[in-house]
Chain A
Amino acid sequence: MTFTIPIDNGDALKNAETDSQRTLYPYVTGTSIVAIKYKDGVLMASDMGGSYGSTLRYKNIERVKAIGKHSLLGASGEISDFQEILRYLDELVLNDNMWDDGNSLGPKEVHNYLTRVMYNRRNKFNPLWNTLVLGGVKNGQSYLGMVSMIGVSFEDNHVATGFGNHLARPILRDEWHADLSFEDGVKLLEKCMRVLLYRDRSAINKLQISKITEEGVTVSQPYSLKTFWEFQAFHNPTAGAQGSW
């Protein structure tokens, strides 16, 4: 996906005027978010990495945050843009609380707000470089949706961003079913996260699983997954053909 070809004549100062109209490329990025609806609400998994190009630079970034009382927001993509979105949402929640009318923003409303923000920025060729996952529970109804940096927005029973689109979604399509228990839900997410750990270069082995139910939000402590390397085929893969891999 390109927005407009950056003018690379080496003159950042002269290009600044046109460049400042659009985001060029991301710097510090988070990788996949995987989320599913389960019996009591929504479960969301993410690792704690912030990559800087190919360097795994930051290893303690929380990419899933609670929004108000009823929602959970996970983000992949540029972390500074995610931090800015959190500031926008802080203001939204503050104003909602100031009404003091007993109502509070539910996940549907937050998802809609984010969709408008992302789509309008895309129209101005200055996107927030994120794919967002919004999950929540209000009045017994579970909600799970996502918004991309170009404003594509939808709801589903299970969602995944980044590499998760390719690696996690097939697993979820096969194994997700309605009314998963908490344990089964966590196991399913861990299965997806393990595959991502094996196959996504920007994944790190330090993750958090967040849960949202009618009662509220819980973000787990950071933890690591065991990985398996003891396949016979791994021990001596080139036995049959020296020089191959």
Chain B
Amino acid sequence: MMDLNLDAPHSMGTTIIGVTYNGGVVLGADSRTSTGMYVANRASDKITQLTDNVYVCRSGSAADSQVVSDYVRYFLHQHTIQLGQPATVKVSANLIRMLAYNNKNMLQTGLIVGGWDKYEGGKIYGIPLGGTVVEQPFAIGGSGSSYLYGFFDQAWKENMTKEEAEQLVVKAVSLAIARDGASGGVVRTFIINSEGVTRNFYPGDKLQLWHEELEPQNSLLDILNAAGPEPMAT
């Protein structure tokens, strides 16, 4: 009998993505949180707000990523008051780095910070295990990202439009969900630019079908009742 291991720590298998486009960034993620083999939450929100203009995609340990983003939100709130204007994406990324690097032995979380500020425009920073900070035109993370390196090498282009960037993110998360057992559920996207933040929601059954995936039906009965097999002619 399969061991569901329900006492395993909550981990977000996850696929997370951050992409810059001509004018801002698009962040995307799946929505599955698993405890061992059981899906503890099939509709989690892995894209968390740090400030009005900076969001973070969380992967790895659910607890570790939540507590790190809570601390950084708290620090950024105070920083914003002191600064008198919105915090920059770079500062947000560096605060995360401080926690990630100095607690590297205890934390198990990979993060992608994305946002828009008036100095640098749209920026994406990847912060993998260990606390390295890497500024990138696009970043992928989580267990599902393994399946996307080849895809992005081929599909990524500079200076995409907002629509192209969002479509790319949705397609990519959807492809990863198709192959990674630890990713699933819905695709959530956040578009951040000078005008503000737009949330979008793509439920699992509205995504494009990939190889060996079938059109969902209500019931077998519907299929049977549709045009039945024709009797043989001869």
A residues at B contact (CB < 8 Å): 12-13, 16, 19-20, 22-24, 26-28, 50, 52, 55, 57-58, 60-61, 78-80, 83-84
Contact = CB atoms under 8 A, between A and B. Distances in A.
B129 interface: yes
Given A27-B128, A28-B128, A83 B133 contact: yes
Nearest to B137: A60
Interface stretch (B44-52, B103-111, B174-182): B103-111
A16 B105 contact: yes
Interface residues of B, number: 18
5 contacts: A12-B106, A13-B106, A52-B128, A55-B149, A80-B132
Contacts of A24: 105
What 3 pairs across the A-B complex have the smallest Cβ distances?
Answer: A27-B130, A80-B132, A80-B131
A118 B136 CA distance: 30
Q: Which of A22, A24, A28 has the most CB of B within 10 A?
A: A28
Contact of A20 (B105, B132, B133, B136): B105
Contacts of B132: 27-28, 50, 78-80, 83
- Secondary structure of the B contact surface, majority rule: loop
Contacts of A23: 104-105
Contact of B106 (A16, A26, A84): A16
A12 to B, nearest CB: 7
B134 interface: yes
A83 B94 CA distance: 12
B130 A78 contact: yes
B117 to A, nearest CB: 22
A10 to B, nearest CB: 9
Contacts, number: 51
Contact of B136 (A55, A60, A80): A60
A58 to B, nearest CB: 6
A57 B149 CA distance: 8
Contacts of A12: 106, 108
A84 B101 contact: yes
Nearest to B130: A27
B128 A20 contact: no
Interface string B84-98: 000000000000010
Contacts of A57: 128
B114 to A, nearest CB: 17
Contacts of B108: 12
A23 B104 CA distance: 8
A83 B103 CA distance: 15
Nearest to B141: A57
A2 to B, nearest CB: 15
B134 A58 contact: yes
Contacts of B128: 27-28, 52, 57
